[in-house]
Chain A
């Protein structure tokens, strides 16, 4: 897996981030949520104490932005089926009830803040549309499973 990072300066930081932090997270949606939540919404800068300690705050922020874009692109271009699996994996990894997470994501549109600042508008539109459909499918599956449980 190659990031294709143009800037040689951030490559070691990207490797570090990928191997130490992102590899531990279950799936790309979890990684996307993690990276988006590490971003200051006022400045758009990312923070990671470990990477910043080894490299610099600026390099850490750039490395995180690069990983964020890479993961986002993967999710934009993955099939709807894969996206549903990724979402399911993320929801299972949280301590919350799946139904509550789905409701919250649908109602609040929490996934909107996971979009990287450097992505183009069309990619963002595709992502939002696909997540919306994926959430609807997951909710339909959950309702169906709930009804099956009630009648069993």
Chain B
């Protein structure tokens, strides 16, 4: 008797920080997402693979992607569909905007309560913030156990999941009761490629807002009424409920005070003597730029 599991993968569309330009930040200190290529956060891909392997092993299991972002973040849900997921939810609402990790985890945990999975799998961290906070914070908000730094989900049954963790200087194998949240490390198996059949099937899957976008006019020949699986769900604050003050900027205890571009003056070699004045000014410059603490 094999069990069927319902798994939600948390995925984030992130600016590709490996290709950051000068206009990456707005003067207000927030991320200028429009100026950067958007990609599927790499460790969320590792997480997706772990979830899909459970689906392979236990047919009938369902995998859904949950993401939060602007309308165009629906792209990560399509990427999931192309690789074998069963659907996804895009949390999109101006009221979610300006969220730090705490407000983000609140929104996600509210959506999870509605989706009611057996397990959440997420990337350890996103490359735009590198905080690794949202996973543990979602687990806390749900009152679920968390297993971080997973390299492999080794086994799962009705009662518990067995996970190999990758630590700084070794490994740990743990079991956790279900439901639980697992964050997956970059050393986990890479995600499978897109499946050609799924790409054909879901190429024109879209959210209601994508359908309304004038740029997409004429793109969608087949209506969602005819093929309901082409509809990607969008949820707003009204769909997930909860405390309005806990969302977005208002629900974020941390604020960005200042953002500095670190551009060192000397790119061609700057020659200094060993004089006290030269050494003091060099050390002072390194400290001012926080290169030394």
Bound pair: A and B? Answer: no
